[in-house]
Amino acid sequence: MDLFVVKRPEEEDKVIDESGNIARLLKKIEKRKRQRIKHKATKSTIKNVINRTKEARRIKRELKAKLQSSEVQNLTGIDAELPKNDELLEQNEIAKQTELEGFTILGTDKYDKKPKVKRVLPKWLSNPTVISVNLQDLQHKVSNMKCLSKDLRKKLKDNGVKYFFPVQAEIIPFLIQSYQESKLMIPRDICVSAPTGSGKTLAFVLPVIETLKNFVTKKIRALVILPTQDLAFQVYKTFDKYVKGTHLKVSLITGKSTFAQEQTELITKNEVFGYLSKVDILVCTAGRLVDHLKETKGFDLSELKYLIIDEADRVLDNVQNDWLYHLEVHIHQNDFRILNLFTLNKPRPPQKLLFSATLSQDPEKIQKLSLFQPKLFTSIVDSTEGTEINTNLFIGKYTTPKELTEKYIRCSTDLKPLVLYQFIKQEKLKKTLIFTHSTESAHRLSILLQLFFKDQLKIVEVSSRLVTRRRNKLIDDFAKGIVDIIICTDKLARGIDLVGVQCVISYSSPTFLKTYIHRAGRTARAGEFGLAVTILNHSEVHKFLNLLQEAGKNNLEEIVISEEHLELSGEQYKEALQGLKQSVTKESKESVRKVKLTKRKLKTNVRKPTTVIS
């Protein structure tokens, strides 16, 4: 029989060695246990517990590994004086439990990779109606849209609108039809995700006016919520343009006027009928709306037919004043899903319309609005033309206008202003917006560029440093062509409709994709062509290109500014920097002087003797 026994001396040595190891490890556990009991009274911080937990886990892992190797050895028929498997596990268990001083480790040591969970979108999100982004080949003549009254069609033509943009051609008939059918069935809520400058505003303004213009009694029937005062004003102006000639009254509440002024514009009180609304369509910001819901007597939204949230992702991110809760209290949300004799006569909830170029991808966020059988309208880039559309691919994917060209410039941080100057010079840019990350940076950059270009270009800064009136004046001047370049922060990135912007430059790299989309969206609007350029320092390039890949933008062209040109402007750059330094020092001295003056004034006010009335 010996002939068939294969002796492996190395293996045998190893087994002996292994058993010794395990014995040593068990001793170690025992020793540590004793030590711990000794120091138990003094050491009880959480940090220690964590460390010891880690140690116990490590030992347990080692033990297990040994155990496995011993199993292999048992299989090979080599007997060794090793504890039995069960014994080992038991000891291990004791070690684990005692190591943790009453804390039991939950779970196992197995770190198996969990299978990736497949994202399953609700059906309405994964089966949208696709809206084209092609604004060059418009198909839908205004005169052919018979669901709009003659008056409205005429007004559109008077304002230079001959063809509808794709988003309007889809949404306007849908909304008018669902309104007509609303006597029989509750209209579906809609979410519209279409590129910047694709005409989303008219897509809701026109059907709202068309369907409400026949109501005789005054009640707030359409409520439009926007994230900022400026955007609300812009939408208000569009409504105002198209309600002319109807008896509809549009009002704006954003906090620009005093609260009392807004109240008198909204409500009137009648001896016989009590409070009456003076408004049919109300455009507002969320914060100011809550103020009126709480404070204005007679402010009634029970007859609301439309609740429109423009720039919906931004508005929904705003939890200020818990506006959604307060709004829900005032509009009817309940008892409407089943139509029966009881619910038929109850006021219906308004149809909710959500619009954005970057609509939330998160169904949970949208869920907050309790949408009724929602329907999604979204745009895709035409690159999939001819292939079968995979709807899951473009859900929530942001699209930019087809007419937008995107490029980037790579340079070192200290040369950024010089590169910017050179780029503006060589491209002979006018009507340009430059985005920076902060008000301070916008201010300094504007001084620097003004020093560079002197009288050649009119460069201004539009930021929160200026009062609203001054800001609006500069934006107007830009639209008229009096101002060539605006340097601004992201406050101007969303929704603002500036006609004919030639180029948008991101001087500071955008942190989020949404920020980039909205910045770039200030150009290439309404079918015009435009350029978006991002200036990046070397370390930002990778991150930025990755960010853009999320929106399916893979082949961004790099613009190279020649070093020769930069060198030629070197002296000018030094002078400009010197000028900036002087200007900043002067400004800081001025602000110190102002602070001192205010303090002095305060002191003298405090010292003034108070008159005692005896």
Ligand X SMILES: Nc1ncnc2c1ncn2[C@@H]1O[C@H](COP(=O)(O)OP(=O)(O)OP(=O)(O)O)[C@@H](O)[C@H]1O
Piece in contact with ligand X (CB under 6 A), picked from 120-128, 196-204, 337-345, 504-512: 196-204
Report the residue from 497, 523, 531, 532 that binds ligand X according to the rule CB under 6 A. Answer: 497
Piece in contact with ligand X (CB under 6 A), picked from 60-68, 159-167, 185-193, 605-613: 159-167
3-class SS of residue 529: coil
Q: How far is the CB of 607 from ligand X (least distance, A)?
A: 54
Binding-site size, ligand X (CB under 6 A) = 19
Q: Which one, 83 or 173, has the nearer CB to ligand X?
A: 173
293 CB-near residues (< 8 Å, 6+ apart): 299, 301, 326, 327, 329, 330
Contact status: 521 vs ligand X (CB under 6 A) = yes
Site residues for ligand X, window 298-317 (CB under 6 A)?
none
**Which backbone phi and psi does 403 adopt, to 5 degrees?**
-85, 0
Piece in contact with ligand X (CB under 6 A), picked from 85-93, 95-103, 192-200, 207-215: 192-200
Listing DSSP states for 183-241 in one string gives GTSPPPPEEEE--TTS-HHHHHHHHHHHHHTT--S----EEEEESSHHHHHHHHHHHHH
Contact status: 526 vs ligand X (CB under 6 A) = yes
43 CB-near residues (< 8 Å, 6+ apart): none
Q: How far is the CB of 214 from ligand X (least distance, A)?
A: 24
**How many residues would you count in the chain?**
614
Report the residue from 187, 350, 495, 530 that binds ligand X according to the rule CB under 6 A. Answer: 495
Q: Round to the nearest angstrom and report the end-to-end CA distance of the chain.
A: 126
Q: Which one, 178 or 201, has the nearer CB to ligand X?
A: 201
Contact status: 197 vs ligand X (CB under 6 A) = yes
Report the residue from 161, 293, 371, 566 that binds ligand X according to the rule CB under 6 A. Answer: 161
∠ CA 322-323-327 to the nearest 5 degrees?
Answer: 125
Alpha carbon distances (Å) from 394 to 420, 546, 551 = 35, 18, 9
Q: In this structure, are residues 312 and 360 in contact, taking their beta carbons and an 8 Å threshold?
A: yes
Listing DSSP states for 583-612 in one string gives HHHHHHHHHHHHHHHHHHHHHHHHHSPPPP
Q: How far is the CB of 306 from ligand X (least distance, A)?
A: 17
Q: In this structure, are residues 361 and 373 in contact, taking their beta carbons and an 8 Å threshold?
A: no
496 CB-near residues (< 8 Å, 6+ apart): 230, 231, 234, 475, 522
- The CA distance from 278 to 298, in Å, is 11
Q: Which one, 492 or 547, has the nearer CB to ligand X?
A: 492
Q: How far is the CB of 495 from ligand X (least distance, A)?
A: 4
Site residues for ligand X, window 349-368 (CB under 6 A)?
357
Q: How far is the CB of 179 from ligand X (least distance, A)?
A: 21
Residue 366 Ramachandran class (φ > 0 left, ψ -120 to 50 alpha, else beta)? alpha
Report the residue from 145, 525, 548, 576 that binds ligand X according to the rule CB under 6 A. Answer: 525
∠ CA 267-269-275 to the nearest 5 degrees?
Answer: 70
Q: How far is the CB of 381 from ligand X (least distance, A)?
A: 16
Q: How far is the CB of 307 from ligand X (least distance, A)?
A: 18
Piece in contact with ligand X (CB under 6 A), picked from 369-377, 417-425, 518-526, 588-596: 518-526
Helix-then-strand count for the chain, H and E? 22, 19
Q: How far is the CB of 519 from ligand X (least distance, A)?
A: 11
Q: Which one, 358 or 422, has the nearer CB to ligand X?
A: 358
Q: How far is the CB of 197 from ligand X (least distance, A)?
A: 4
Residues of this chain that interact with ligand X (CB under 6 A) are 161, 163-165, 168, 196-202, 357, 495, 497, 499, 521, 525-526
